[in-house]
Amino acid sequence: MPMQLFVGDVVVLKKPHPCGGHNWEILRTGIDFRIKCLTCGHSVMLPRIRLEKGIKQVIKAADVAQIGQEQ
């Protein structure tokens, strides 16, 4: 069963980016995903299967918007 991942969702990865960030926004889905580090703004492309293995938590786009409103 593939993970439900959509553009706008934020994923928390097990392994931090060299900048120290764990949160990435999904910019593009497909066989290859493009994700952007929310800490430093760097974006990378990687195969879906590799991304899925590294995900610790998924924050849905709707919840991301809610968090934004609270700040």
Q: Which residues bind Zn ion (CB under 5 A)?
A: 17, 19, 21, 37, 39-40, 42
- Nearest distance, CB of residue 19 and Zn ion, angstroms: 3
Q: Name which of 2 and 20 has its Cβ closer to Zn ion.
A: 20
The whole-angstrom separation of Cα 39 and Cα 2 is: 27
- 2 vs 18, which CB is nearer to Zn ion? 18
- Can you say whether the dihedral through the CA atoms of 60, 65, 70, 71 is positive or negative? positive
Q: Pick the closer one to Zn ion by CB: 38 or 58.
A: 38
